[in-house]
């Protein structure tokens, strides 16, 4: 079937046409590994996972690359001042009195554990920027040779005025962006244009004490052997090219990346390679907390450990994420997570009322495909799940088969039966009720059910006997 997606580049919903039939190449901007990732970033990982699973469900071979940024992401990058501030990895290294590479190892491992607990499929490739310095240097040199980049004593910059379609992704007016910003920056008076961005920082000026540096062929009168480190943006261009070539099918990331990071990726990649960089751009919206921006300064930058400490399942968080479209903002509250967990437990309980598997209901499968292939309408797909469960014309076995098929995309582990400890007094009542039912004493059976429910448990009659769950 055809898949339609909303392309940020065109601002329209478009039919997906792959570069190679049956194969889709996807690059997803991964985390800067200087801290535990907040649940807003976890939502982005789940949204990308749903996109990937949708293509797999449609029988595509998916080559999925997600990077780790372990150098070059300055604290000013996300606020529109891309060449200012301290390297985030160095800041973390000083905070924890560890080397940057150990900081990276620590938080990469934590990230892997977090996304695994959310049932996110691991990438085909997961490159670290520091492992691709030769590729990065080669691309920077190409940009210099082609006249798109220039050197100052402090850095190598990309000249945005050499790329006429610089704002084609963001649709911003470059003249308006530059108006009133002055010429150059406080750290580099030789910068030609305010919007020019760094491809390589030399180990001088504000970066004289940089902890992670490499030799380069780029000359500077202030440093020996061109020693320095790459800018954040060039890293993704080099890594995506290494694994996926000059042109990608899909590039994903958060909406905050549109105006700076992804805009710069397009400019440098298309200038260096002479080809279209990406055909389809997908951007997920932000997660709010109690209708407010999530952030450390607000004190609401929850991480997955906060979820676990309150005894919630990570898959319950995934279920919550599935209730909002990837292009819509979503509001997180502890009450909404509690409701999601209750609903997920109920869903699993219904699905597992029978262990027998019937046939996939083809009409509902077609409806499911129509939803997920329409710009990944996962909330609609979740609604369809409940519609199926209410349909009395379908056997429980066929419902189970159909929903387990859908779960290949939803990733809710619907066949997982949660282990619960049943108190001795409750189990005794369950056993008594079984005897009453066996003796066809249904009045006593109903009385015992009510007594069990008063203790916080529910009992259901299945083909294989009584099934007890927490209410």
Does residue 403 sit in the same domain as residue 457? no
Inform me whether the pLDDT recorded for 78 exceeds 70. Answer: no
- Summarised one tens digit per residue, pLDDT across range 279-336 is 999 999 999 999 998 877 677 889 999 999 999 999 999 999 999 999 999 999 999 9
Does residue 405 sit in the same domain as residue 345? yes
Does residue 249 sit in the same domain as residue 350? no
Confidence of residue 457 (pLDDT cuts 50, 70, 90): confident
In contact, 307 and 340? CB cutoff 8 Å:
no
Residue 412, token pair as written in the block: 């809710």
Inform me whether the pLDDT recorded for 180 exceeds 50. Answer: no
Q: Which CATH number characterizes residue 11's domain? A: 3.40.50.620
205-219 mean pLDDT: 95
Q: Is residue 383 part of a domain?
A: yes
Closest CA to 62 of 250, 247, 239: 250
37-44 mean pLDDT: 97
Domain boundary (410, 435, 456) is at 410
Residue 178, H or E segment: helix 174-178
Q: Is residue 419 part of a domain?
A: no
Does residue 91 sit in the same domain as residue 187? yes
Does residue 302 sit in the same domain as residue 334? yes
Inform me whether the pLDDT recorded for 185 exceeds 70. Answer: no
Does residue 367 sit in the same domain as residue 429? no
Q: Is residue 417 part of a domain?
A: no
- Summarised one tens digit per residue, pLDDT across range 226-245 is 999 999 999 999 999 999 99
Does residue 212 sit in the same domain as residue 233? yes
Does residue 258 sit in the same domain as residue 298? no
pLDDT at res. 470: 73
Q: Is residue 125 part of a domain?
A: yes
Residue 441, token pair as written in the block: 């004493």
Domain boundary (284, 311, 338) is at 284
Degrees to nearest 5, angle at CA 278 with 274 and 284: 150
In contact, 367 and 384? CB cutoff 8 Å:
yes
pLDDT at res. 464: 62
Q: Is residue 416 part of a domain?
A: no
Does residue 149 sit in the same domain as residue 94? yes
Does residue 334 sit in the same domain as residue 267? no
Domain boundary (284, 305, 321) is at 284
Total domains in the chain come to 3
Angle between helical axes of 334-351 and 314-321 (0-180°, round to 10): 100
Inform me whether the pLDDT recorded for 83 exceeds 80. Answer: no
Average pLDDT, the chain: 93
Which residues of 16-168 form beta strands (DSSP E)? 23-28, 61-66, 149-151, 155-158
Cβ-proximal residues to 182 (8 Å cutoff; 6+ apart), any chain: 194
Q: Which CATH number characterizes residue 405's domain? A: 1.20.120.640
Q: Is residue 201 part of a domain?
A: yes
20-40 mean pLDDT: 97
158-179 mean pLDDT: 88
Inform me whether the pLDDT recorded for 419 exceeds 80. Answer: no
pLDDT at res. 335: 97
What pTM did the predictor assign?
0.89
pLDDT at res. 459: 84
Q: Which residue range(s) make up the domain with 392?
A: 288-410
Does residue 265 sit in the same domain as residue 164? yes
Does residue 19 sit in the same domain as residue 71? yes
């Amino acid at each position: 079937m055809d898949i339609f997606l909303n392309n940020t580049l065109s601002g329209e919903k478009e039919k997906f046409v792959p570069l190679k039939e049956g194969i889709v190449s996807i690059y997803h901007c991964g985390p800067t590994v200087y801290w535990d990732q907040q649940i807003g970033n976890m939502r982005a990982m789940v949204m990308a996972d749903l996109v990937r699973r949708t293509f797999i469900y449609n029988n595509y071979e998916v080559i999925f690359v997600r990077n780790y940024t372990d150098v070059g992401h300055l604290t000013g990058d996300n606020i529109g001042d891309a060449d200012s501030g301290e390297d985030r990895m160095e800041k973390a290294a000083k905070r924890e009195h560890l080397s940057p590479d150990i900081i990276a190892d620590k938080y990469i491992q934590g990230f892997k554990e977090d996304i695994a607990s959310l049932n996110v499929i691991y990438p085909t490739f997961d490159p670290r920027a520091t492992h691709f310095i030769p590729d990065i240097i080669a691309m920077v040199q190409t940009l210099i040779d082609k006249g798109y980049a220039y050197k100052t004593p402090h850095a190598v910059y990309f000249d945005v005025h050499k790329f006429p379609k610089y704002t084609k992704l963001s649709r911003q007016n470059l003249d308006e962006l530059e108006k009133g910003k002055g010429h150059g920056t406080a750290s580099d008076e030789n910068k030609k244009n305010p919007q020019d961005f760094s491809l390589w920082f030399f180990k001088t000026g504000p970066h004289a004490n940089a902890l992670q540096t490499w030799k380069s062929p780029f000359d500077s009168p202030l440093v020996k052997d061109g020693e320095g480190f790459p800018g954040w943006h060039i890293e993704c261009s080099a890594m995506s090219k290494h694994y996926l070539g000059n042109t990608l099918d899909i590039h994903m990331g958060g909406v905050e990346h549109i105006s700076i990071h992804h805009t710069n990726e397009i400019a440098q990649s298309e200038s260096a390679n002479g080809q279209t960089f990406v055909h389809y751009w997908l951007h997920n919206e932000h997660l709010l907390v109690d209708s407010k921006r999530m952030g450390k300064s607000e004190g609401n930058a929850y991480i997955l450990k906060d979820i676990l400490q309150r005894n919630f399942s990570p898959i319950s968080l995934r279920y919550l994420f599935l209730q909002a479209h990837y292009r819509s903002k979503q509001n997180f509250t502890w009450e909404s997570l509690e409701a999601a967990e209750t609903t997920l437990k109920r869903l699993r309980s219904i699905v597992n009322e029978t262990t027998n598997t019937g046939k996939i209901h083809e009409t509902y499968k077609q409806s499911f495909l129509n939803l997920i292939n329409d710009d990944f309408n996962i909330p609609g797909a979740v609604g369809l799940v409940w519609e199926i469960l209410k349909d009395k014309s379908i056997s429980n076995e066929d419902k189970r088969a159909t929903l387990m098929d859908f779960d290949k995309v939803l990733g809710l582990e619907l066949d997982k039966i949660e282990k619960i400890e049943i108190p001795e007094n409750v189990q005794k009542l369950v056993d008594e009720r079984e005897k009453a039912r066996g003796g066809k004493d249904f009045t006593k059976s109903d009385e015992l059910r009510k007594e069990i429910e008063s203790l916080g448990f529910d009992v259901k009659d299945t083909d294989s006997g009584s099934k007890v769950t927490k209410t």
